Amino acid sequence: MKYCMGCMEQYEDEYNICPHCGYAENTPPVNSLQIVPGSILADRYIVGRSLGSGGFGVTYIGWDALLETKVAIKEYLPSEFSSRAYGSTEITVFSGAKQEQFESGMNRFVDEAKKLAKFGNSSGIVQIIDTFEVNNTAYIIMELLEGETLAQRLEREKTIPPEEALRMITPVINSLEEVHKAGLIHRDIAPDNIFITSKGDIKLIDFGAARFATSTHSRSLTVLVKEGYSPEEQYESRGEQGPHTDVYALAATLYRMITGVVPPAALERKARVRNRKKDPLQPPSKFVKDLDDNYENALMNALNIQISDRTESMSKFLEELTSEQPVKRRLAHISVFDKLKWPLWAKIGVPAACVCLLTFGVLFMTGVIRFDANMKKEITIPEGQTRVPSVLNLEYPSAEMKLSESNLNISVTRKEPNRDIPENRVMKQMIFDGSVVAENTVVQVVISAGEAEMIMPNVLGLEADTAKNELENLGLKVTVNEEYDDSIMAGSVISQSKDFEDKVYETDEIVLTVSKGRDPFKGEPAGTKAPNFLGSYFEEARQIASENDVLIMVTEYRYSRSFAKGQIMSQNPGPGGDLDDSKCVKLVISMGFGNVTVPDVTFQDEDKAKTQLRTVGLIPQVTYEYSNSIEEGLVISQDPSPDTSIETGSKVNLVISKGAESVEIPNLVGMTKSDATDTLRNMGMVVVYEYKTDNSKSEDSVLSSSPAAGEKIRPGSEITLTICTHESTVQVPDVKGKSRSDAEKAIKSAGLKVNVVEVIDDDNVGKVISQSPKGRSSTTKGKTVTINVGKKSDDQKSNNNGSNGSNNGGSSKTTTKSETTTQKPETTPTKKTNTDTNSEPQTETKTETNTSSPQKKKYTVKVISESTEIFEVEEGATFGSVISDFSEGSENSSGQIFKGWYIGKNGNGRKVSSSDVIKSDTTVFAYYVEPQYSDWTPISDVPSGAKISEHKYTFYKPETTTSESPSLGDDWKQTGSEWKESGSATRICAEFPSGFDESNAYYNDIEHGLTSAYADETSKRDVSRSFKYYIYWHWCYPLAGSHTENDRIVSDQCNEKISGCGYTTIFEAFDSTVDEPYKEWAKGYEVRGHSTYSWWYVPKRVEVYEERITDYKKIYTYSRSVYYESDTQPNPSTVINLTHLVKYRIN
């Protein structure tokens, strides 16, 4: 039996895939910095696979051989200060200041572990088993928790009942109270750091993790915040942190548990309160019916922004949560200004103001002074338009959601450095908040890059233009100085004002000193051969170049495992090579090899992002996608994520925005204005109108569109519909840039109404910033023109300016076409509403005295899901009164996933919640999306509780085959070869010489020629041969002359003339096994009576053989492992590299 390094369960030795978790034996660590699974620490702990890693260290699953139990092993390994060679257990600590920071962090790591070990009996904190130092670092051995995080449960269940939530959180409160008394704080409490074990125990994990490795140079470790959970003091590196910090975070976690809502960010809350706006934190009773008052007050007290107002300790927090006596709500006290610093005039003016107020009260009570309806100031939002909210200081997802709720679209245009606004928050929005604009308008924003800290690249030796472009791509300012140099090629960089790997910030000025070449007075370089620069450093190379009278330049910086950082790894020409007329040797310098931290390049320009990655030794890999919210050319996402530690030379995948995908404009001609508008708004377009008189067409029908049908435009673009009217039209005055009074006068002179919206804009106080409809467009008389007018930002209450009867000192109320609100309950508004939906319907309010209670309005609500229901509700009702289920994630009958209720179809328009008040006749649509599933994922990596949809097993099976081919392709490996008989034959054969009678039976019955043996790479032939007999033969002449019949003169040629005898025309051949002797003097074989014609000799003979011929082919044997996929698990003993993969639902 052996232990699985993936789950520490035991299984049979014959398997190499764990049947419990699917972990393959000998799987390497996911990161070369991590310990190889199977290593042993302190002669006691077996290290398994990594469970997770961060900026300061790694956590592994482990086995305690002494206690015979699973454990978690936490290793101190801040990648910013240390590294490890693959396969080694010892780590290498960087020298200098980084060594000091490493040691300081390690001491805190060990010290806090020892302190936490004292709380081993505390039920709410993970148990510390052991701590020790080895391998140049430190380790903490903890109990291994199996179960899920609170975040995972909330993702699945959305909310937890208040009583159960309190029971769950109480052990954590009690444990934190003990820990705080020991002088420790957690600083990172949130649902993902609270663990629910499989036995139901609640544990607080990752205690103090982000404080172990602090660096004055690392902003990511200096300030640790989690949006919604971190109090405002945690946003400051020197904020006053203490037990109250953990109280806020735990209260925010409890708030999330019972409401399903993450509290607004503390900085956003503080900013709104300072600006005299309502705290956006909603009381939990708004989401939880019948919530106990004490429970709510305890939560809200613990969530107070100011430390002085907040619950000071965990014991006090628990006391208020469980108190049977009334708990008093402590209201927040955030000063908008400091009254102790009032100027003298204000100190004098306040008492005088009090006298004036007293006088005013008397006059009001006696009826001398009375309020007038004109003091009410109403802002009407025309149908099809919306008011722009402020998204400043919000993180991108929150900004996107907030604009979407107002039926607006976001577009990130760039990322800029800003030391005051935290990274990845909105620092600018291009349309002033408060402006009234058309729905689907794109609000462009700029995202903060924070301090925009970067690593200074090494550009020494590079061509000046290349170096300058690389630095300017990072947003750095570059100044170039030139000077003569004996060793650096003209036009290449001699020095840089910031050293390689120094911290630099966008807009920093970098001075490059560039070579003008050799001083003319010293003459041209005369070297002919390239010296050896390999292994040298840049400054050493300069010295070598000067000594050998040659020049150098750098063509590339490249990562290398073989050469240390800064060493020259190649040169052209090579050592001893001939130089051309330039006398220049081109060098490539190593960037070394190790681990680096991935920079955050999201929202950056593509070129800048690539340069930042290359500077730290990473390789950018780019793909492109359409995006409606990220402008073309910017980075949408990156993988690995920022602050991940990976090897130099690793690839970082960037997804670059192609901008919004263009859509084709449909044919709208003939449609009603309403239907055409709905169609375009559902496509994400901004709709504006022109009017044209045409009595031959239906009124309110579309005559044309611009762009026209068939053209393609991007969502958020403006499209103008020309609408048919039977009335005469007027031209809308262009009042942009004019004063408010002039604008109102011009609009009214054209027979149009005015709707004024004041927007904070210090540069355009009293002037029109924008208008709708646009100037010079055509509309019908009586329509409303909305103008956005600038006002001062510090104008809390202006005096009456007397312009057109308006009074800025009155209260401001936003109304829509279907809603009018007045200040006094004893007056009832009656509405006269223009039914034209040109954007411009404005509610005219007449104030009538009404001594009776106002009648509540009734609204019709149509709820469309898989079926349609219609409800009639009274004014003030919420959507929760007509819709029972707002929980997202459920499936409909088609298997689609519910994502919420929306005012528009297909997730368009505003998303509504159960607490939203119904303010008009409304249709809400259930928004379903197709379920999305993960890619195939190892089952060990699936989040706890995730819904698995498919299973797949991947594995390899060994196969063997044979072939006559010496190669079968890349997947077959040749393992051997042998000769195999492919055929055989036997033949009687002889080599017949010229002169032999071709009509003779021997000649025709015996095969001609002998067979040759051979062999090559793929085939061979073996020949064995045995003697059969001789054929003796000759030619002779007919009997005539002195010779006797059997003693004629013979020949080996036909028709040879023999003097006195005639021509040789008779052929004779006979066989014999006798090897008759050959007589040289007779030039023939002695046959003695065997021949009919020659008693003594014949001149020739032929040797006849029997041959055995065998042919062979070379047969090669091959093996390979064939990849298979199956939905059922195979027998692990018959396969190799078995992996269990699944797909799980991710939405």
- The pLDDT value recorded for residue 273 is 77
Q: Same domain, yes or no, for 267 and 318?
A: yes
Task: Tell whether the model's pLDDT for residue 231 goes beyond 50.
Answer: yes
- The pLDDT value recorded for residue 814 is 35
- The pLDDT value recorded for residue 506 is 76
Round to whole Å and give the CA distance between 197 and 126: 11
Percent of the chain with pLDDT over 70: 86
Round to whole Å and give the CA distance between 21 and 51: 14
Three-state DSSP state, 547? helix
- The pLDDT value recorded for residue 208 is 53
Structural element, H or E, at residue 963: strand 948-963
Residue-wise pLDDT tens digits, 456-466: 889 999 999 99
Q: Where does the pLDDT of residue 184 fall: very low under 50, low under 70, confident under 90, or very high at 90 and above?
A: confident
CATH of the domain at 237: 1.10.510.10
398 belongs to a structural domain: no
The residue written with tokens 């074990």 in the block is 197
Task: Tell whether the model's pLDDT for residue 622 goes beyond 60.
Answer: yes
- The pLDDT value recorded for residue 837 is 34
The total of structural domains in the chain comes to: 7
- The pLDDT value recorded for residue 1040 is 56
Q: Same domain, yes or no, for 829 and 889?
A: no
What single-letter amino acid sits at 431?
A: I
Q: Same domain, yes or no, for 192 and 98?
A: no
Q: Same domain, yes or no, for 865 and 920?
A: yes
Helix %, strand %, coil % of the chain (to 5): 20, 35, 45
What single-letter amino acid sits at 588?
A: V
Round to whole Å and give the CA distance between 687 and 678: 9
Q: Same domain, yes or no, for 718 and 638?
A: no
Residue-wise pLDDT tens digits, 627-664: 888 999 999 989 888 878 788 888 999 999 999 889 99
Q: Quick one: 686 exposed, middle or buried, by C-beta within 10 A (0-12, 13-18, 19+)?
A: buried
Looking at every residue in the chain, the average pLDDT score rounds to: 82
Task: Tell whether the model's pLDDT for residue 749 goes beyond 80.
Answer: yes
Three-state DSSP state, 414? strand
Residue-wise pLDDT tens digits, 404-430: 888 899 999 988 888 778 888 898 999
Q: Where does the pLDDT of residue 665 fall: very low under 50, low under 70, confident under 90, or very high at 90 and above?
A: very high
- The pLDDT value recorded for residue 853 is 45
Round to whole Å and give the CA distance between 558 and 649: 9
Q: Where does the pLDDT of residue 1044 fall: very low under 50, low under 70, confident under 90, or very high at 90 and above?
A: low
Instruction: Of 317, 295, 349, 182, give the one whose Cα is nearest residue 246.
Output: 317
Tell me, what DSSP letter sits at residue 589?
E
Task: Tell whether the model's pLDDT for residue 177 goes beyond 80.
Answer: yes
Q: Same domain, yes or no, for 829 and 916?
A: no
333 belongs to a structural domain: no
Instruction: Of 149, 137, 155, 37, give the one whose Cα is nearest residue 91.
Output: 137
Q: Return the structure tokens found at 564.
A: 């240390």
Binding site: which residues? Answer: 74
Strands (E), 559-618: 568-572, 584-590, 595-597
Q: Same domain, yes or no, for 74 and 134?
A: yes
Round to whole Å and give the CA distance between 722 and 178: 72
6 belongs to a structural domain: yes
103 belongs to a structural domain: yes
Q: Same domain, yes or no, for 1025 and 1124?
A: yes
Highest mean pLDDT among 215-229, 701-715, 1082-1096: 701-715
Q: Where does the pLDDT of residue 397 fall: very low under 50, low under 70, confident under 90, or very high at 90 and above?
A: confident
Q: Same domain, yes or no, for 735 and 789?
A: yes
Under 8 Å between Cβ of 637 and 657: no
Q: Where does the pLDDT of residue 689 fall: very low under 50, low under 70, confident under 90, or very high at 90 and above?
A: very high
- The pLDDT value recorded for residue 223 is 43
What does each C-alpha distance from 844 to 375, 820, 833 come to in angstroms? 15, 9, 7
Of 929, 962, 986, which residue sits at a domain end? 929
Task: Tell whether the model's pLDDT for residue 793 goes beyond 80.
Answer: no
Torsion of CA 770, 773, 776, 777, to 10 degrees: 160
Instruction: Print the SS3 string covering 729-788.
Output: EEECCCCCCCEHHHHHHHHHHCCCEEEEEEEECHHHECEEEEEECCCCCEEECCCEEEEE
What does each C-alpha distance from 47 to 34, 61, 66, 110, 858 come to in angstroms? 10, 6, 14, 19, 68
Round to whole Å and give the CA distance between 579 and 551: 10
Q: Quick one: 472 exposed, middle or buried, by C-beta within 10 A (0-12, 13-18, 19+)?
A: middle
- The pLDDT value recorded for residue 380 is 67
Cβ-based neighbour number of residue 283 at 10 Å: 14
Structural element, H or E, at residue 156: helix 150-157
Q: Quick one: 991 exposed, middle or buried, by C-beta within 10 A (0-12, 13-18, 19+)?
A: exposed
Task: Tell whether the model's pLDDT for residue 1135 goes beyond 90.
Answer: no
Of 599, 625, 657, which residue sits at a domain end? 657
What single-letter amino acid sits at 801?
A: N
Task: Tell whether the model's pLDDT for residue 558 goes beyond 80.
Answer: yes
841 belongs to a structural domain: yes
1073 belongs to a structural domain: yes
- What DSSP string describes 212-279? SS--TT-HHHH----TTTS-GGGGSTT---SHHHHHHHHHHHHHHHHHS-PPPPHHHHHHHHHTT---
Instruction: Of 236, 321, 380, give the one whose Cα is nearest residue 785.
Output: 380
Q: Return the structure tokens found at 837.
A: 């939906």
Mean pLDDT for the stretch of residues 16-43: 86
Under 8 Å between Cβ of 821 and 919: no
Binding site for ATP: which residues? Answer: 74
Mean pLDDT for the stretch of residues 912-934: 83
Instruction: Of 228, 283, 222, give the one whose Cα is nearest residue 258.
Output: 283
Task: Report the relative pairing of strands 619-625 and 651-657 from DSSP bridges.
Answer: parallel
Half-sphere exposure of 20 (CA within 13 A, CB side): 12
The residue written with tokens 């544990």 in the block is 203
- The pLDDT value recorded for residue 379 is 59
Round to whole Å and give the CA distance between 226 and 190: 8
Under 8 Å between Cβ of 729 and 699: no
What are the residues facing 690 on neighbouring strands?
722
Contacts of 361 (CB under 8 A, 6+ apart): none
431 belongs to a structural domain: no
Residue range(s) defining the domain that contains residue 363: 339-370
Q: Same domain, yes or no, for 532 and 481?
A: yes
Mean pLDDT for the stretch of residues 852-878: 76
Instruction: Of 869, 950, 926, 955, give the one whose Cα is nearest residue 1137.
Output: 955
Residue-wise pLDDT tens digits, 5-23: 999 999 988 888 888 888 8
- The pLDDT value recorded for residue 190 is 92
Q: Same domain, yes or no, for 946 and 924?
A: no
CATH of the domain at 870: 2.60.40.4270
Mean pLDDT for the stretch of residues 157-175: 93
415 belongs to a structural domain: no
Q: Same domain, yes or no, for 606 and 551?
A: yes
Tell me, what DSSP letter sits at residue 1001?
H
Mean pLDDT for the stretch of residues 249-262: 95
- The pLDDT value recorded for residue 345 is 37
pTM for this entry: 0.40
Of 819, 849, 879, which residue sits at a domain end? 849
What does each C-alpha distance from 527 to 535, 546, 550, 577 come to in angstroms? 21, 10, 5, 11
Under 8 Å between Cβ of 911 and 404: yes
